[in-house]
Structure 1
Amino acid sequence: MNSLRMLLVGTVLMAGAQNLGAQNIATQYQTGTTFETSGLTGFQTSGAGMAGMQVTARFSGGQTFSGFWTDLGDLTFGSFTYAAHGVSQAWGDVSFPSSGNTNGNFWILRLASGDYGALLSLQFNGAPGRTLFDCRFTATGCAQSGGTSIDGTVGSSGAITAQVAAPNSVAGISPHNQFDAQKVSGVYANSINLVGAPAVGDLFEQFTLVFDGGLTQDAGLFLFAVDTDNANPNATIVPTTPVPEPSTYALLATGLGALMLAKRRRRHADVG
Protein backbone atom coordinates (compact mmCIF):
# COMPACT_ATOMS: atom_id res chain seq x y z
CA MET A 1 0.00 0.00 0.00
CA ASN A 2 1.25 3.48 -0.85
CA SER A 3 2.70 5.04 2.32
CA LEU A 4 1.30 8.49 1.48
CA ARG A 5 -2.16 6.98 1.02
CA MET A 6 -1.87 5.23 4.38
CA LEU A 7 -0.84 8.53 5.95
CA LEU A 8 -3.96 10.17 4.53
CA VAL A 9 -6.08 7.44 6.03
CA GLY A 10 -4.38 8.01 9.37
CA THR A 11 -4.89 11.77 9.37
CA VAL A 12 -8.40 11.94 7.87
CA LEU A 13 -10.40 8.78 8.57
CA MET A 14 -8.61 8.02 11.79
CA ALA A 15 -9.07 11.56 13.04
CA GLY A 16 -12.56 10.22 13.23
CA ALA A 17 -15.27 11.04 15.67
CA GLN A 18 -12.92 12.86 18.03
CA ASN A 19 -12.21 15.69 15.58
CA LEU A 20 -14.68 15.79 12.71
CA GLY A 21 -17.96 16.91 14.21
CA ALA A 22 -19.41 13.52 15.01
CA GLN A 23 -22.99 13.47 16.25
CA ASN A 24 -24.35 11.68 19.31
CA ILE A 25 -27.20 9.24 18.79
CA ALA A 26 -29.85 7.94 21.17
CA THR A 27 -28.59 4.89 23.07
CA GLN A 28 -30.14 2.18 25.22
CA TYR A 29 -28.51 -0.26 27.64
CA GLN A 30 -29.94 -3.69 28.33
CA THR A 31 -28.57 -6.26 30.77
CA GLY A 32 -29.90 -9.07 28.57
CA THR A 33 -28.00 -12.34 28.87
CA THR A 34 -25.06 -11.80 31.22
CA PHE A 35 -21.58 -12.86 30.08
CA GLU A 36 -18.20 -13.09 31.75
CA THR A 37 -14.55 -13.31 30.74
CA SER A 38 -11.27 -13.75 32.59
CA GLY A 39 -9.74 -10.36 31.79
CA LEU A 40 -8.99 -7.72 29.15
CA THR A 41 -5.92 -7.12 27.00
CA GLY A 42 -6.31 -3.37 27.34
CA PHE A 43 -8.49 -0.59 26.07
CA GLN A 44 -7.24 -0.31 22.47
CA THR A 45 -8.65 -2.64 19.81
CA SER A 46 -7.90 -2.71 16.08
CA GLY A 47 -9.90 -4.03 13.17
CA ALA A 48 -7.72 -7.13 13.14
CA GLY A 49 -8.30 -7.62 16.87
CA MET A 50 -12.03 -8.13 16.35
CA ALA A 51 -11.65 -11.30 14.24
CA GLY A 52 -14.41 -13.83 14.90
CA MET A 53 -17.08 -11.28 15.82
CA GLN A 54 -20.51 -12.07 14.34
CA VAL A 55 -22.36 -9.43 12.31
CA THR A 56 -26.06 -9.70 11.42
CA ALA A 57 -27.80 -7.39 8.92
CA ARG A 58 -31.61 -7.25 8.75
CA PHE A 59 -33.47 -5.75 5.80
CA SER A 60 -37.00 -4.48 5.18
CA GLY A 61 -37.48 -7.11 2.47
CA GLY A 62 -37.39 -9.78 5.17
CA GLN A 63 -33.87 -11.06 4.50
CA THR A 64 -31.32 -11.52 7.25
CA PHE A 65 -27.60 -12.01 6.59
CA SER A 66 -25.00 -13.16 9.11
CA GLY A 67 -21.23 -13.39 8.79
CA PHE A 68 -18.03 -13.36 10.82
CA TRP A 69 -15.46 -10.57 11.02
CA THR A 70 -12.35 -11.43 9.02
CA ASP A 71 -9.50 -10.01 6.91
CA LEU A 72 -10.93 -8.29 3.81
CA GLY A 73 -7.63 -7.18 2.31
CA ASP A 74 -7.48 -3.68 0.77
CA LEU A 75 -10.77 -1.77 0.48
CA THR A 76 -11.29 1.45 -1.46
CA PHE A 77 -13.60 4.27 -0.39
CA GLY A 78 -13.54 7.25 -2.71
CA SER A 79 -9.90 8.35 -2.93
CA PHE A 80 -8.76 6.18 0.00
CA THR A 81 -7.56 2.58 0.05
CA TYR A 82 -6.48 0.75 3.19
CA ALA A 83 -6.15 -2.72 4.70
CA ALA A 84 -9.39 -3.59 6.45
CA HIS A 85 -11.10 -6.24 8.53
CA GLY A 86 -14.85 -6.68 8.47
CA VAL A 87 -17.73 -8.55 6.86
CA SER A 88 -18.48 -8.46 3.13
CA GLN A 89 -21.62 -10.09 1.69
CA ALA A 90 -24.11 -9.66 -1.15
CA TRP A 91 -25.80 -6.75 0.63
CA GLY A 92 -22.56 -4.77 1.09
CA ASP A 93 -19.87 -4.54 3.76
CA VAL A 94 -18.96 -3.08 7.13
CA SER A 95 -15.31 -2.63 8.01
CA PHE A 96 -12.63 -0.97 10.12
CA PRO A 97 -8.92 -0.42 9.38
CA SER A 98 -6.92 -3.50 10.36
CA SER A 99 -4.43 -1.42 12.37
CA GLY A 100 -6.77 1.33 13.58
CA ASN A 101 -8.01 2.00 17.11
CA THR A 102 -11.78 1.82 17.57
CA ASN A 103 -11.82 4.38 20.39
CA GLY A 104 -13.22 7.48 18.69
CA ASN A 105 -12.55 6.47 15.07
CA PHE A 106 -14.91 5.62 12.26
CA TRP A 107 -16.17 2.29 11.00
CA ILE A 108 -17.55 2.31 7.43
CA LEU A 109 -20.83 0.75 6.32
CA ARG A 110 -21.48 0.42 2.59
CA LEU A 111 -24.67 -0.86 0.97
CA ALA A 112 -23.89 -2.52 -2.36
CA SER A 113 -27.38 -3.57 -3.40
CA GLY A 114 -30.94 -2.36 -3.08
CA ASP A 115 -32.34 -5.81 -3.83
CA TYR A 116 -33.12 -6.51 -0.18
CA GLY A 117 -34.86 -3.27 0.70
CA ALA A 118 -33.64 -0.85 3.37
CA LEU A 119 -31.23 -1.85 6.13
CA LEU A 120 -33.20 -1.89 9.40
CA SER A 121 -30.45 -2.91 11.80
CA LEU A 122 -26.84 -4.03 11.99
CA GLN A 123 -26.04 -6.19 15.00
CA PHE A 124 -22.59 -7.09 16.33
CA ASN A 125 -21.99 -9.98 18.75
CA GLY A 126 -18.51 -10.25 20.19
CA ALA A 127 -18.75 -13.59 22.00
CA PRO A 128 -17.84 -15.79 19.02
CA GLY A 129 -14.50 -13.95 19.15
CA ARG A 130 -12.96 -11.81 21.92
CA THR A 131 -14.66 -8.46 21.32
CA LEU A 132 -16.48 -6.40 23.96
CA PHE A 133 -18.32 -3.11 23.44
CA ASP A 134 -17.39 -0.21 25.72
CA CYS A 135 -19.17 3.07 26.49
CA ARG A 136 -18.32 6.45 28.01
CA PHE A 137 -18.66 5.52 31.65
CA THR A 138 -19.52 7.84 34.52
CA ALA A 139 -20.15 7.21 38.18
CA THR A 140 -23.80 6.50 37.37
CA GLY A 141 -23.39 4.37 34.25
CA CYS A 142 -23.06 4.90 30.51
CA ALA A 143 -23.58 8.38 29.06
CA GLN A 144 -23.44 10.04 25.67
CA SER A 145 -20.07 11.13 24.33
CA GLY A 146 -18.82 14.62 24.92
CA GLY A 147 -18.00 14.78 28.63
CA THR A 148 -15.41 13.37 30.97
CA SER A 149 -15.38 9.67 31.70
CA ILE A 150 -13.90 7.40 34.34
CA ASP A 151 -12.34 3.96 34.05
CA GLY A 152 -14.84 1.18 34.52
CA THR A 153 -14.01 -2.53 34.42
CA VAL A 154 -10.38 -3.32 35.29
CA GLY A 155 -8.35 -3.26 32.06
CA SER A 156 -10.78 -0.93 30.31
CA SER A 157 -10.51 2.84 30.12
CA GLY A 158 -12.35 6.01 29.19
CA ALA A 159 -14.21 5.46 25.92
CA ILE A 160 -16.75 7.02 23.61
CA THR A 161 -20.40 6.07 23.41
CA ALA A 162 -21.68 5.39 19.89
CA GLN A 163 -21.67 8.31 17.46
CA VAL A 164 -22.18 8.88 13.73
CA ALA A 165 -20.33 11.16 11.35
CA ALA A 166 -21.81 14.48 10.32
CA PRO A 167 -22.93 14.50 6.67
CA ASN A 168 -19.97 14.71 4.26
CA SER A 169 -17.59 15.66 7.07
CA VAL A 170 -14.76 13.43 5.79
CA ALA A 171 -13.29 14.81 2.58
CA GLY A 172 -12.51 12.35 -0.18
CA ILE A 173 -15.30 9.82 0.47
CA SER A 174 -18.44 11.87 -0.11
CA PRO A 175 -21.31 11.41 -0.17
CA HIS A 176 -21.74 9.87 3.25
CA ASN A 177 -24.17 9.94 6.16
CA GLN A 178 -27.04 11.47 4.19
CA PHE A 179 -29.38 10.06 6.82
CA ASP A 180 -30.90 11.92 9.75
CA ALA A 181 -28.85 11.12 12.86
CA GLN A 182 -32.00 11.50 14.95
CA LYS A 183 -33.33 8.38 13.21
CA VAL A 184 -30.31 6.31 14.26
CA SER A 185 -30.04 4.64 17.66
CA GLY A 186 -27.59 2.29 19.31
CA VAL A 187 -28.48 -0.55 21.66
CA TYR A 188 -25.85 -2.02 23.99
CA ALA A 189 -26.92 -5.40 25.36
CA ASN A 190 -25.68 -8.45 27.29
CA SER A 191 -23.70 -7.09 30.22
CA ILE A 192 -20.17 -8.49 30.76
CA ASN A 193 -18.29 -8.93 34.02
CA LEU A 194 -14.86 -10.30 34.87
CA VAL A 195 -14.78 -13.76 36.46
CA GLY A 196 -15.24 -13.42 40.21
CA ALA A 197 -16.37 -9.80 40.08
CA PRO A 198 -19.76 -8.13 39.56
CA ALA A 199 -20.50 -6.30 36.32
CA VAL A 200 -19.49 -2.63 36.45
CA GLY A 201 -21.89 -1.60 33.71
CA ASP A 202 -19.53 -0.35 31.00
CA LEU A 203 -19.01 -3.52 28.91
CA PHE A 204 -21.45 -5.38 26.68
CA GLU A 205 -21.32 -8.43 24.42
CA GLN A 206 -23.70 -6.99 21.81
CA PHE A 207 -24.12 -3.68 20.00
CA THR A 208 -26.86 -2.90 17.45
CA LEU A 209 -27.30 0.07 15.14
CA VAL A 210 -30.98 0.66 14.42
CA PHE A 211 -32.17 2.77 11.46
CA ASP A 212 -35.69 4.15 11.87
CA GLY A 213 -37.33 3.81 8.45
CA GLY A 214 -34.32 1.94 7.09
CA LEU A 215 -30.99 2.99 5.58
CA THR A 216 -30.74 2.91 1.76
CA GLN A 217 -27.99 3.42 -0.81
CA ASP A 218 -29.18 7.00 -1.33
CA ALA A 219 -27.53 7.91 1.98
CA GLY A 220 -24.09 7.05 0.59
CA LEU A 221 -21.53 5.46 2.85
CA PHE A 222 -22.42 5.45 6.54
CA LEU A 223 -19.66 6.25 9.04
CA PHE A 224 -20.13 5.49 12.73
CA ALA A 225 -17.99 5.12 15.82
CA VAL A 226 -18.29 2.57 18.61
CA ASP A 227 -15.51 1.60 21.00
CA THR A 228 -14.41 -1.99 21.61
CA ASP A 229 -12.10 -3.85 24.00
CA ASN A 230 -10.63 -7.34 23.72
CA ALA A 231 -10.73 -10.26 26.13
CA ASN A 232 -7.41 -11.88 27.01
CA PRO A 233 -5.75 -14.10 24.38
CA ASN A 234 -7.21 -17.62 24.48
CA ALA A 235 -10.00 -16.36 26.76
CA THR A 236 -13.66 -16.87 25.98
CA ILE A 237 -16.73 -14.70 26.54
CA VAL A 238 -19.38 -17.03 27.89
CA PRO A 239 -22.89 -16.69 29.35
CA THR A 240 -22.94 -16.87 33.14
CA THR A 241 -26.25 -18.74 32.92
CA PRO A 242 -25.82 -21.34 30.16
CA VAL A 243 -28.67 -21.68 27.68
CA PRO A 244 -30.14 -25.22 27.90
CA GLU A 245 -29.37 -27.55 24.99
CA PRO A 246 -32.32 -28.75 22.85
CA SER A 247 -31.94 -32.22 24.38
CA THR A 248 -32.45 -30.67 27.79
CA TYR A 249 -35.72 -29.09 26.64
CA ALA A 250 -36.80 -32.48 25.22
CA LEU A 251 -36.12 -34.22 28.52
CA LEU A 252 -37.97 -31.48 30.38
CA ALA A 253 -40.98 -31.82 28.06
CA THR A 254 -40.96 -35.60 28.51
CA GLY A 255 -40.84 -35.25 32.27
CA LEU A 256 -43.68 -32.72 32.33
CA GLY A 257 -45.75 -34.96 30.06
CA ALA A 258 -45.25 -37.94 32.36
CA LEU A 259 -46.16 -35.84 35.38
CA MET A 260 -49.40 -34.63 33.76
CA LEU A 261 -50.31 -38.20 32.75
CA ALA A 262 -49.73 -39.39 36.30
CA LYS A 263 -51.98 -36.62 37.65
CA ARG A 264 -54.78 -37.54 35.23
CA ARG A 265 -54.56 -41.21 36.23
CA ARG A 266 -54.69 -40.22 39.88
CA ARG A 267 -57.80 -38.10 39.31
CA HIS A 268 -59.51 -40.94 37.45
CA ALA A 269 -58.65 -43.33 40.28
CA ASP A 270 -60.09 -40.92 42.83
CA VAL A 271 -63.33 -40.60 40.83
CA GLY A 272 -63.61 -44.39 40.45
Structure 2
Amino acid sequence: MKKYLLAGLFTLFASQSNAAFIEGVTGADMAGMTVTAEFSDGSTDTLMWNAMGTDMGGALSPEWGVMLSGDSFGEYDPGTNTFYGLWVVANNSNFDIVELTLNGVNAGVVFDTEFGDASANGSGPGREMVGSSPMLVATYTQNYLDELFSIMTLMSLDGRVVGAGMRSAFMTDTDMIEPDMPVPAPAGLALVALGLLLSARKRQA
Protein backbone atom coordinates (compact mmCIF):
# COMPACT_ATOMS: atom_id res chain seq x y z
CA MET A 1 0.00 0.00 0.00
CA LYS A 2 2.79 2.41 0.94
CA LYS A 3 4.55 1.89 -2.40
CA TYR A 4 1.39 2.72 -4.33
CA LEU A 5 0.83 5.89 -2.30
CA LEU A 6 4.40 7.03 -2.80
CA ALA A 7 4.14 6.41 -6.52
CA GLY A 8 0.95 8.46 -6.63
CA LEU A 9 2.57 11.34 -4.78
CA PHE A 10 5.60 11.32 -7.09
CA THR A 11 3.31 11.34 -10.13
CA LEU A 12 1.29 14.22 -8.67
CA PHE A 13 4.28 16.44 -8.00
CA ALA A 14 5.95 15.49 -11.29
CA SER A 15 2.88 16.64 -13.23
CA GLN A 16 3.10 20.00 -11.46
CA SER A 17 6.82 20.51 -12.02
CA ASN A 18 6.50 19.72 -15.74
CA ALA A 19 3.95 22.47 -16.28
CA ALA A 20 4.00 24.34 -19.60
CA PHE A 21 2.38 27.71 -20.21
CA ILE A 22 1.98 30.19 -23.06
CA GLU A 23 3.10 33.74 -22.26
CA GLY A 24 2.39 36.93 -24.17
CA VAL A 25 -1.35 36.30 -24.07
CA THR A 26 -3.42 38.99 -25.82
CA GLY A 27 -7.08 39.86 -25.75
CA ALA A 28 -7.67 37.72 -28.83
CA ASP A 29 -6.27 34.58 -27.18
CA MET A 30 -8.77 34.28 -24.32
CA ALA A 31 -11.89 33.30 -26.29
CA GLY A 32 -14.15 31.15 -24.14
CA MET A 33 -13.48 32.94 -20.87
CA THR A 34 -16.62 34.16 -19.09
CA VAL A 35 -17.11 37.52 -17.40
CA THR A 36 -19.88 38.03 -14.84
CA ALA A 37 -21.02 41.42 -13.57
CA GLU A 38 -23.10 41.92 -10.45
CA PHE A 39 -25.08 45.16 -10.34
CA SER A 40 -26.24 47.35 -7.48
CA ASP A 41 -29.86 46.29 -8.05
CA GLY A 42 -28.88 42.68 -7.26
CA SER A 43 -28.98 41.41 -10.85
CA THR A 44 -26.13 39.56 -12.58
CA ASP A 45 -25.16 39.14 -16.21
CA THR A 46 -22.59 36.78 -17.75
CA LEU A 47 -20.89 37.39 -21.10
CA MET A 48 -18.59 35.21 -23.19
CA TRP A 49 -15.16 36.52 -24.18
CA ASN A 50 -14.55 36.60 -27.95
CA ALA A 51 -11.65 37.51 -30.23
CA MET A 52 -12.18 40.87 -31.95
CA GLY A 53 -8.97 41.23 -33.97
CA THR A 54 -5.36 40.06 -34.14
CA ASP A 55 -4.61 41.04 -30.53
CA MET A 56 -7.94 42.36 -29.25
CA GLY A 57 -10.78 40.61 -27.49
CA GLY A 58 -13.61 41.24 -25.11
CA ALA A 59 -16.94 40.37 -23.58
CA LEU A 60 -19.40 43.00 -24.76
CA SER A 61 -23.09 43.85 -24.61
CA PRO A 62 -25.02 47.10 -25.11
CA GLU A 63 -25.24 47.52 -21.33
CA TRP A 64 -21.68 46.75 -20.24
CA GLY A 65 -18.47 45.04 -21.28
CA VAL A 66 -14.78 44.35 -20.76
CA MET A 67 -12.14 44.66 -23.49
CA LEU A 68 -8.37 44.12 -23.78
CA SER A 69 -6.09 45.16 -26.63
CA GLY A 70 -2.53 43.84 -26.70
CA ASP A 71 -0.49 41.77 -24.25
CA SER A 72 -2.28 41.22 -20.94
CA PHE A 73 0.95 41.80 -18.99
CA GLY A 74 0.63 45.50 -19.74
CA GLU A 75 3.22 48.24 -19.90
CA TYR A 76 3.51 51.95 -19.17
CA ASP A 77 5.55 54.34 -21.32
CA PRO A 78 6.45 57.35 -19.14
CA GLY A 79 7.78 59.20 -22.18
CA THR A 80 4.36 59.38 -23.78
CA ASN A 81 2.31 58.77 -20.62
CA THR A 82 0.67 55.83 -22.39
CA PHE A 83 -0.59 52.56 -20.93
CA TYR A 84 -0.54 49.40 -23.03
CA GLY A 85 -2.47 46.21 -22.33
CA LEU A 86 -5.19 47.85 -20.27
CA TRP A 87 -8.33 45.91 -19.42
CA VAL A 88 -11.13 48.46 -19.92
CA VAL A 89 -14.51 48.03 -18.23
CA ALA A 90 -17.45 50.07 -19.54
CA ASN A 91 -20.78 50.31 -17.75
CA ASN A 92 -23.56 51.82 -19.87
CA SER A 93 -26.32 50.59 -17.57
CA ASN A 94 -28.31 52.55 -15.01
CA PHE A 95 -26.80 50.62 -12.10
CA ASP A 96 -23.31 50.42 -10.61
CA ILE A 97 -21.24 47.29 -11.17
CA VAL A 98 -20.41 46.14 -7.64
CA GLU A 99 -18.51 42.96 -8.51
CA LEU A 100 -16.81 41.63 -11.64
CA THR A 101 -15.66 38.02 -12.03
CA LEU A 102 -13.41 36.74 -14.81
CA ASN A 103 -13.46 32.95 -15.09
CA GLY A 104 -10.79 31.39 -17.31
CA VAL A 105 -11.44 27.73 -16.50
CA ASN A 106 -13.07 26.75 -19.82
CA ALA A 107 -10.63 28.83 -21.86
CA GLY A 108 -7.43 27.51 -20.27
CA VAL A 109 -6.63 30.98 -18.93
CA VAL A 110 -4.86 31.52 -15.62
CA PHE A 111 -4.09 34.75 -13.77
CA ASP A 112 -0.37 35.04 -12.95
CA THR A 113 -0.19 36.98 -9.68
CA GLU A 114 3.60 37.03 -9.05
CA PHE A 115 5.67 39.88 -10.46
CA GLY A 116 8.72 38.09 -11.84
CA ASP A 117 9.09 34.32 -12.04
CA ALA A 118 9.68 33.51 -8.38
CA SER A 119 8.10 30.04 -8.54
CA ALA A 120 10.10 28.97 -11.63
CA ASN A 121 7.11 26.92 -12.81
CA GLY A 122 7.44 28.04 -16.41
CA SER A 123 4.71 30.69 -16.35
CA GLY A 124 7.19 33.57 -16.65
CA PRO A 125 6.77 37.04 -15.15
CA GLY A 126 3.33 37.94 -13.87
CA ARG A 127 1.45 40.93 -12.55
CA GLU A 128 -1.13 41.07 -9.78
CA MET A 129 -4.12 43.29 -10.49
CA VAL A 130 -3.42 47.03 -10.44
CA GLY A 131 -6.47 49.26 -10.86
CA SER A 132 -6.96 52.79 -12.13
CA SER A 133 -8.62 53.46 -8.78
CA PRO A 134 -6.86 52.67 -5.45
CA MET A 135 -10.24 51.46 -4.20
CA LEU A 136 -10.22 48.51 -6.62
CA VAL A 137 -9.16 45.16 -5.11
CA ALA A 138 -8.95 41.61 -6.48
CA THR A 139 -9.40 38.18 -4.98
CA TYR A 140 -8.21 35.01 -6.71
CA THR A 141 -9.80 31.57 -6.44
CA GLN A 142 -9.47 28.09 -7.95
CA ASN A 143 -5.72 27.82 -7.57
CA TYR A 144 -4.21 26.01 -10.56
CA LEU A 145 -0.55 25.91 -9.57
CA ASP A 146 1.59 28.04 -7.26
CA GLU A 147 0.72 31.70 -8.01
CA LEU A 148 -1.64 30.84 -10.89
CA PHE A 149 -5.41 31.09 -10.43
CA SER A 150 -8.29 30.39 -12.80
CA ILE A 151 -10.74 32.95 -11.41
CA MET A 152 -10.29 36.62 -10.51
CA THR A 153 -13.00 38.69 -8.83
CA LEU A 154 -12.85 42.48 -8.70
CA MET A 155 -14.48 44.41 -5.87
CA SER A 156 -14.14 47.94 -4.56
CA LEU A 157 -13.61 49.29 -1.07
CA ASP A 158 -16.35 51.84 -1.74
CA GLY A 159 -18.72 49.16 -3.10
CA ARG A 160 -18.56 50.36 -6.70
CA VAL A 161 -16.25 48.70 -9.25
CA VAL A 162 -17.63 50.82 -12.09
CA GLY A 163 -20.32 53.42 -11.61
CA ALA A 164 -23.38 53.68 -13.83
CA GLY A 165 -22.43 55.33 -17.11
CA MET A 166 -18.72 55.20 -16.23
CA ARG A 167 -15.54 53.41 -17.27
CA SER A 168 -12.65 51.91 -15.33
CA ALA A 169 -9.40 50.13 -16.19
CA PHE A 170 -6.89 47.76 -14.66
CA MET A 171 -3.82 45.69 -15.45
CA THR A 172 -3.36 42.01 -14.68
CA ASP A 173 -1.30 39.31 -16.38
CA THR A 174 -2.75 36.12 -17.83
CA ASP A 175 -1.12 33.00 -19.23
CA MET A 176 -2.55 30.13 -21.25
CA ILE A 177 -2.26 26.49 -20.25
CA GLU A 178 -0.71 24.34 -22.98
CA PRO A 179 -3.58 22.31 -24.53
CA ASP A 180 -1.84 18.96 -24.01
CA MET A 181 -0.60 19.76 -20.53
CA PRO A 182 -1.81 17.44 -17.72
CA VAL A 183 -3.97 19.19 -15.16
CA PRO A 184 -2.22 19.28 -11.78
CA ALA A 185 -4.26 18.06 -8.85
CA PRO A 186 -5.21 20.70 -6.28
CA ALA A 187 -2.88 21.18 -3.33
CA GLY A 188 -5.61 19.82 -1.05
CA LEU A 189 -5.49 16.49 -2.87
CA ALA A 190 -1.76 16.26 -2.23
CA LEU A 191 -2.39 16.78 1.48
CA VAL A 192 -5.03 14.05 1.47
CA ALA A 193 -2.61 11.66 -0.23
CA LEU A 194 0.09 12.53 2.29
CA GLY A 195 -2.38 11.91 5.12
CA LEU A 196 -3.20 8.49 3.70
CA LEU A 197 0.49 7.67 3.51
CA LEU A 198 1.05 8.63 7.15
CA SER A 199 -2.05 6.67 8.14
CA ALA A 200 -0.71 3.58 6.37
CA ARG A 201 2.59 3.90 8.22
CA LYS A 202 0.80 4.09 11.59
CA ARG A 203 -1.20 0.94 10.83
CA GLN A 204 1.99 -0.92 9.99
CA ALA A 205 3.79 0.25 13.15
TM-score by length of 1: 0.53
Match of 1:22 in 2: none
1:164 to 131, 154, 174: 131
CA shift for structure 1 position 152: 2.1
CA shift for structure 1 position 164: 1.8
Instruction: Classify the secondary structure of the residue corresponding to 2:128.
Output: coil
Distance 2:129 2:144 in 1: 18
Instruction: Classify the secondary structure of the residue corresponding to 2:140.
Output: strand
1:162 touches 1:226 (CA, 8 Å); kept in 2? yes
Match of 1:118 in 2: 96
Q: Is residue 187 from structure 1 mapped to residue 187 from structure 2 by the alignment?
A: no
2:98 touches 2:159 (CA, 8 Å); kept in 1? yes
Match of 1:223 in 2: 169
Instruction: Classify the secondary structure of the residue corresponding to 1:182.
Output: coil
Q: Is residue 91 from structure 1 mapped to residue 67 from structure 2 by the alignment?
A: no
Query: What is the Cα-based RMSD across aligned positions, in Å?
Result: 2.7
Match of 1:31 in 2: none
1:161 touches 1:227 (CA, 8 Å); kept in 2? yes
Distance 1:58 1:183 in 2: 17
2:36 touches 2:45 (CA, 8 Å); kept in 1? yes
2:149 to 201, 204, 214: 204
Distance 2:72 2:148 in 1: 14
Structure 2 segments unaligned to the other structure (5+ residues)? 1-14, 75-84, 190-205
Identity of counterpart residues, as a percentage? Answer: 25
Match of 1:145 in 2: none
Structure 1 segments unaligned to the other structure (5+ residues)? 1-35, 74-81, 138-148, 166-180, 194-199, 243-272
Q: Which amino acid in the other structure matches residue 113 of structure 2?
A: C
CA shift for structure 1 position 157: 1.4
1:131 touches 1:228 (CA, 8 Å); kept in 2? yes
Instruction: Classify the secondary structure of the residue corresponding to 1:208.
Output: strand
Higher relative contact order (CA 8 A, sep 6+): 1
Distance 2:20 2:110 in 1: 9
Distance 2:167 2:142 in 1: 28
Distance 1:66 1:239 in 2: 28
Task: Output one character per residue of 1:148-186: Cα deviation in whole Å (capped at 9) or x when no partner.
Answer: x33325221122211123xxxxxxxxxxxxxxx232111
Larger of the two Rg values belongs to structure: 1
2:71 to 101, 125, 128: 101
Alignment of structure 1 residues 1-272 onto 2, 5 Å: 39-72=19-52, 84-97=56-69, 100-104=70-74, 105-114=85-94, 117-137=95-115, 149-165=116-132, 181-193=133-145, 200=146, 202-211=147-156, 212-214=158-160, 215-217=162-164, 220-233=166-179, 240=186
Query: How many matched pairs?
Result: 161
Distance 2:107 2:129 in 1: 21
Match of 2:5 in 1: none
